[in-house]
Structure 1
């Protein structure tokens, strides 16, 4: 079972866990290499090691003794691997966030699917009917097994925030849960409070 905090996180913002993990691992690897070079250069591994060049002659001799095709093949394979990894990382970071369609009926011979745009449109219409809400923007996020909603509401000046939240929770979100047949429907709500109307000074 997925923890409620994990489910709710899908509604709050898009997850960049994989990108952050790869960035962290790459940064730690770079720090570790720099630390080893610093320790060797400071002479902590011995004066002989500190005086030797960064590219150890023994390593260069070993590489020079390898067949040319093996060295070239290894360099090409490493370059292709890094290029594929970089393109995959770029595509993953730039791809649009998923907006799942929900299948409400799995009976053989018939299907009932609610599209993400239809769900967002229905919730948006209900939210805009709440007293004090001027405009609403709704997005369906998560996946088909664990859907979530992300709402952004613009409120009229002087609106009662508690009343708006109460009506949103007991009417709008409750109707969405009943329609989808789910007991839990995580939702992240962001309120934009209207500013006072500007008056022209004469």
Structure 2
């Protein structure tokens, strides 16, 4: 596996895929752009001054729709149903929870050992909370069994040294996680929250 393949898999694991949303947004934007360009071309008279002066709903098109009323209604109903189905599919896809992979540490038949994603997250979070300056930690295991990754959120106490905390997280917590899971690489996205200073009560 090349370095670029490893980096691409890490990136896809650390950030939830929004490829579908981007494709849909791009298609809608392209259609809107084409409609706008067409309206500009017609309005500027590039297709003829007579065509630019005609109403938006071309009388010829309206007459054709009147003559083909049944066909137009059926087409409109089918288009509406298709849009409804696509909208519902998109809605439920957006609500679908992200996969949290379990790791098989031993796949021997009859002696298999699988660690759940929840157990992995809880163990790493508990380890991270032992670091001086970390008040709370939250971990989420993402990716797949072959290429796991982590999302690590840390809440730091006020006045903590961020560089020292990160060095300890990287050299101890993440190192132990890699050794425990038996993986050489464990891509991790870290999010830090700095605690606010405690309010002093005025007497």
Query: Shift of the alpha carbon at 1:184?
Result: 1.0
Other-structure match for 1:10: 13
Shift of 1:122: 0.5
Counterparts of 2:189 and 2:159 in 1: how far apart (Å)?
Answer: 22
After TM superposition, the structure 1 stretch with the greater mean CA deviation from structure 2, 102-111 or 113-122, is: 102-111
CA spacing shift, 1:167–1:44, aligned 2, 3 Å = same
Aligned counterpart, 2:104: 103
Structure 1, 26-35 or 90-99: larger mean CA deviation: 90-99
Tell me, yes or no, if the aligned pair for 2:157 and 2:195 is still in contact at 8 Å. yes
Q: Secondary structure at the match of 1:154?
A: strand
Q: Give the match for residue 134 of structure 2.
A: 133
Query: Deviation string for 1:58-111 (max 9, x for gaps)?
Result: 43444455483x444322221111111111111222222222222223333443
Give 5+ residue unaligned stretches, structure 1. none
Aligned CA RMSD, in angstroms, stands at: 2.2
Q: 1:44 aligns to what SS in structure 2?
A: coil
- Aligned equivalents of 1:72 and 1:109: distance in 2? 62
Structure 2 CA distance for aligned equivalents of residues 197 and 73 of structure 1: 67
Q: Which residue of 2 aligns with 1:26?
A: 28
Shift of 1:201: 2.5
Map of 2:81 onto structure 1? 80
Please say if residues 128 and 134 of structure 1, whose CA atoms lie closer than 8 Å, have aligned partners that are also in contact. yes
Aligned 8 A contact 1:148 1:187 in 2: yes
Q: Secondary structure at the match of 2:184?
A: coil
Q: Secondary structure at the match of 2:101?
A: coil
Aligned-partner Cα distance in 2 for 1:31–1:40? 14
1:158 aligned counterpart, secondary structure: coil
Give the conservation status (yes or no) of the 8 Å contact 1:8–1:148: no
Q: TM-score, normalising length from structure 2?
A: 0.86
Preserved contact between residue 142 and residue 148 of structure 1 (Cα < 8 Å): yes
- Decide whether the 8 Å contact of 2:9 with 2:147 is kept in 1: no
